[in-house]
Structure formats: C-alpha cells, structure tokens
Copies of this chain bind each other. A is one copy, B any other.
Amino acid sequence: MPNQATMDQPTPATATPALPERGRVRTVIESITPQVDGGRFAAKRIVGDVVRVEADVFTDGHDAVLCRLLFRRAGESGFTSAPMEALVNDRFAGTFTATQIGRWEYTVEGWVDHFETWRRDLRKRKAAGQDLSLEFVRGEQLVLEAAGRATGEDARWLAQWATRLADTALDPEQRYAAAVDTSLAALARRYPDPELVARHDTWLPLTVDRERARYCAWYELFPRSCSPEAGRHGTLRDVAARLTDIAEMGFDVLYLPPIHPIGETDRKGANNAVTAQPGEPGSPWAIGAKSGGHKAVHPQLGTPEDVRFLVDEAARHGIELALDIAFQCSPDHPYAAEHPQWFQTRPDGTIQYAENPPKKYQDIYPFHFETAEWRKLWTELKSVLDFWIRHGVRIFRVDNPHTKPFAFWEWAIGEVKREHPDVIFLSEAFTRPKVMHRLAKLGFTQSYTYFAWRNTHWELKEYFTELTQGPGREYFRPSAWPNTPDILPEYLQFGGRPAFMVRLVLAATLAASYGIYGPAFELMEHEPREPGSEEYLDSEKYQLRHWDLRRPDSLRDFVARVNAIRRDNPALHSDWSLRFHPVDNESLLCYSKTSPDDGNMVFTVVNLDPHHTQAGWVELPLAELGLDPARPFQAHDLLSGARFLWHGARNYVALDPQQAPAHIFRLRRRVRSEQDFDYFM
C-alpha cells in the first residue's frame, strides 16, 4: 500500500489553475426585478413612485444572509442604500422612492451575516441549555471586528457592547441579554466585512418620468380645420380659441398633426386622389416646401412664435401641446436639394420616393439611414426635436417610428431626455408586437396599442391582461385610441352612437392614457372612404373640414363626464391594478382598478353589444377588493349618478345601449362613523 498520508499533501502551487479574484465571497444574487433584458434597457416609473426591487439572495450552508438595495441618480458615484426584507423562497424585497424625474439606477448587495448567524444560534444553544461561555467570546470577536470597520459613535458603541459580552464578572443572563439585544444587532449589521460582500455585477437602469407619462387624455385635431368660418384655412391662433372647449371636455394633451409647410410636388388630393386639384391643401405628412421644412410652420397656420403662444395658452388651460414628428420629406423639402446624400438615389439619378410595391407614394421621400452621412443626418434630425423644445414643446407623438432605425431612436431619445428629462415621446407604431416592444424598451415613453382592433370580451381581456400584467409592463406604457385620422374601425362604422360611447368608456377606463381624434369622434364621424376601408370619407388628412361643434347629438358632454370621472378617481390613473372579473354573459365586460392605497375602487361594466340590451350576473372578488361579504356595499354609478346597494359577490346588471352602454361604479365600503351611524366611503 502506498503512503496515503503523503498522497494527501497539497498539490504544489505551480499547478494551480486560474482562480477567481474573490473566492471568499459566498453570497449569490440572482433574478433582480425589475430588469429589462438583463439591464440593457431601463424599466420605467413615475416620480413619487415607490420602486420595489426584488432579488434572490442566498449563500451556501445555513448561515444568515443579509442584503440591501443600492440606488442613485444615474451619473452619481456614491449611492443610498435601503434594507431588503426576506419574503419566501430566498427572495428579498426593498424599496426606494423615485423623488425626481430622470435616469436612476439600482443594484443589490448581499453578504453572509456572521453576527446574525451567531445570534440566531446562540438562542438555540440557550434553549437547549448549553454552556455559552465560549460563545460569548466568539460574539465579542465578531462585535470587535464590526467595531474595527465602523467609525465615530458607532465604533465606540460597538466596542462597548464587545466589552459587555466579554465581561465575565457579569451574570451570564446579562451577557446573554446583551448578545441578543436588537439594537446591537441593528448596529452590527451595518458593518459587514467589505471583502465578503457580493454585489450584482451591473447597475440596472430606471427611467423616472413625470406623471403625464402614465396618466393623460389626448385630444387630436387638425389645426387647419379650426377656423370658425367654413372654407377659411385655420390657424394656430384659431386652435388657441378652442382650448377652453377642450379643457372643459377634460383633456390634458392637445396633439396636432404636422404643422409644417406642405410640398407641392405630387401633392395628393381629397380622398387621397393621386393628383391634387389647384387649391387643395395636401397632406400635412408631406413635409417641406420652399418656405421650410421640419423647423418651419406652414405659412397659413402661423409661425414658430405662434407655437410658443399656443404652448403658453394651453398651459393656462392645464393642457400641454404635443407635436407630430414625421421624419420624412416632400420632394420640395430643402433637405432634398441641400442633402441629396440623405436619400436613396434611383439608377436614373432621381431621389427614391416611398414605395410599398406596387404602391408608390411619390409625394414622400424617406430618409436613407444607411447613408455614409448618417452621423450628419442623425444630428440634424435631433436638432428638429431641440428646435421645438426651445419653443416650449415637451411632448412628441412620433409618426411611424418603426420605419427608422431603432439605434437612431435610442440615441436621439436618450440624448433629449438626458438634457430634458421631462420630455415625453409617444410611439405611433401599429406594427408587429416585437417591433412595438423594442421601441418602448429603447426609450419611447408611451406606445399606441392594438386597442382599435380589440372588440370582443375575449380580445379585450387577453390583450389588456397582457399589457398590464405581462413582463412588458415594466417598459411599455399603453395608450388606447378608439380612432385616429388613419383608423376608423368597423365597430364605429356600424355601431352608431352606442358604439362611440362604448369605445370611449373602454379606452378611458382600461388605460390610464388614452386619446381621441376629434371632432370626428364626438361628432360620431363614421363613413368610410369605401366599403371595407378604415379610412375616413373626406378625411382631414387631405382636405379642410368645418365641424359643427354645437350639434345637439355631440358626445361632448359624455366625453367630459368620463374625463371628470377619470380625474376624480385615482384608481384610473395607472394600469397595473386592472383585473377582469367573471360575468355570465360574454357581451358584458367587467373589470376593476384600485388606487395604490386601495382607497379608491372603480368597477366598470360595459355592454360590448351596441345594438341590444344585455344583462348578466357579475362576480366581484370581494376579498381582493377589501369588501366584507357579510355587509352590503354601495355601487355608485358615476356615469348616471345612480347608487345601488349590493350584497355579496354576485350581482345583476342590465345595460341598454340606447340609454347607457356602461356603468362606471365607484365601490364604497360601508363603515361606521364615530357618531355610530353607517355611511359609505
């Protein structure tokens, strides 16, 4: 038999394979949330939000683990920390409040807490009646080590605690009391050995926006149709005159399609006719003419100074102005002559117009982002944003962002928000889901959704559950639009007045952010250009319209009522609390939202059938909503003002679309006042 003892000799150090740097660090940190693509992109929150960060933190063996959340404004070198509490299954949670808008970042640290391990075990030893004298010496060592890492008052306190633990003159019960003292534990845990602390290897980014990024109601209109006189081209000053009405309807963002000079070459006529007749105004999206491009205002609308005036006037009405950013040019745009290299050239030397073969859009030149001069192009396009920001604009609705490179938007939005963190970008992309998500991830503040095409109970439930509960909710903030100048959905074409009411209630209560294209919406414009089309007949995209805003059948007051309900009920100011509830009639849709403090509960029931009365039994999750199943509660319909006294989870609802196709209930708990009578709050 060989000499076994010799065989146990360590292998010579020369044979050592490469060892990690910090092999003594035993704690593991995994699966931090929120986290978007491993920290490649930022999660999004609103200023004032309590940001909850969770992580799996554990170590080998049975030692106690501590961890903490580190957070800071991006760019700072220091950080603030917050303790993390153990949940179940090795998961911990901590929070911090996002006190300012801008970019933040956070990460997690964890370590084996030797003092806490010792303290926990000491309790068990005591309970088992073991002799603790050696343990007190070990405790003294641990506290002295912590004292050595502490400074000032803490160091002195820890040293005093150590002395007490070591004091053999004391009664063992007194030493034990000192050892398990919670203030000692709280002090000791603040000074882990930095050599043994694990930190997640990256700081995770967070974008903190102002509240309007999550909660807003948009009103879109064409300024050129705003003239009070039929036939006259409207101006930005005419738009200013509309602000009182828009504010009374309860909107807080006014969004204008492009306001720039419109090209003459290959200008489209009414109803998208290939050739405009003389005097026809053309499409506002054919941007650029002799009088300027993206930094100019159409001469018939006004001047950039009028934009500043409109911004200020709107602000006085509690409204923000949103401009359209459509990065494309008419053939008459100054860029086309001055920077032909920013466009693709056809083999015949002309600039390539937009095409979706076999369709041709000769009035539009798309930019060629693969140009060797991409740096100049990007810089110039960003300067367009800067230009309007200088004129007071803080919200941009971006037209077709998915036809420009993702990298461009990430850079441009990143740079703008670095300089102006209050700027909001709405992504107009009704394209493939992953493209829409990428745009949201890379920085767009809000995103249009497929809401316009989701009509049935199943569709709406599935889609809004995905939007509000799926992983994308960390970065994709939905905006629901029942109509846009490009989308007149079939439901609105055939459903009559109830259809408009249904879609408005759905948009305004399912989504914290929504918008309508008016006055087409409140005046229930519903004729398509041709059967099967979602284009409006006589669309404002190609011609002036004069709207009779005082038409007695206008939905103006209904819109105002719905927006007032939104404003009064914090439950409707965010999306994550949305929950759908069972109902035994698929023509009805039932859902609730609650405010973060649970003080405000809104329960909405919508009849999706615009033609027939539908009725059914709805089922409320009383426990989830904090309602006592043994006591009646009040369902206060904020639309009609009616109040119902409901008992238990199942309640009956009937909705006649000709009367009111929806209830927006505020649920009120019955509580007993100090004066000993019941009331509902």
A residues whose Cβ falls under 8 Å from a Cβ of B: 1-2, 4-5, 7-11, 13, 15-17, 19-20, 22-26, 28, 30, 37-38, 56, 58-62, 89-90, 121-122, 124-125, 127-128, 130, 134, 137-138, 141, 196, 261, 290-296, 299, 303-304, 334-335, 338-339, 346-348, 355-358, 369-371, 374-376, 378-380, 382-383, 386-387, 402-408, 411, 415, 432-435, 438
Contact = CB atoms under 8 A, between A and B. Distances in A.
B19 A61 contact: no
A26 B406 CA distance: 7
Nearest to A294: B8
A358 B17 CA distance: 39
B38 A4 contact: no
B13 A376 contact: yes
A382 B378 CA distance: 55
B25 A62 contact: no
For the complex of A and B, 7 pairs with smallest distance between CB atoms: A4-B292, A128-B358, A4-B296, A137-B347, A124-B357, A121-B357, A11-B383
B292 A356 contact: no
Contacts of A303: 1-2
B435 A58 contact: yes
A23 B346 contact: no
Contacts of A292: 4-5, 7-8
Contact of A1 (B62, B299, B438): B299
17 contacts: A4-B292, A4-B296, A17-B379, A20-B407, A23-B374, A23-B378, A24-B370, A26-B406, A30-B434, A60-B369, A60-B402, A61-B403, A121-B355, A124-B357, A125-B358, A134-B348, A141-B347
A357 B125 contact: yes
A374 B38 contact: no
Contacts of A8: 292-296, 334-335, 338
Contact of A138 (B11, B60, B334, B347): B347
Given A4-B296, A141-B347, A434 B358 contact: no
Contacts of A127: 358
A387 B38 CA distance: 40
Nearest to A141: B347
Given A295-B8, A415-B17, A58 B23 contact: no
B89 A432 contact: yes
B4 A408 contact: no
A418 to B, nearest CB: 8
Contacts of A5: 290-292, 334
Given A56-B434, A375-B16, A23 B408 contact: yes
A329 to B, nearest CB: 10
Given A5-B292, A60-B405, A303-B1, A19 B433 contact: no
Contacts of A334: 5, 8
A50 to B, nearest CB: 26
A282 B344 CA distance: 84
A62 B402 CA distance: 9
A130 B357 CA distance: 10
B89 A434 contact: yes
Nearest to A118: B357
A358 B122 CA distance: 9
A4 to B, nearest CB: 3
Contacts of A37: 30
B16 A379 contact: yes
Nearest to A90: B434
Scoring A299, A357, A411 by chain B CB atoms within 10 A of each residue's CB, the highest score goes to A357
A254 B61 CA distance: 28
A19 B375 contact: yes
Given A37-B30, A60-B406, A292-B4, A24 B374 contact: yes
Contacts of A432: 58, 89-90
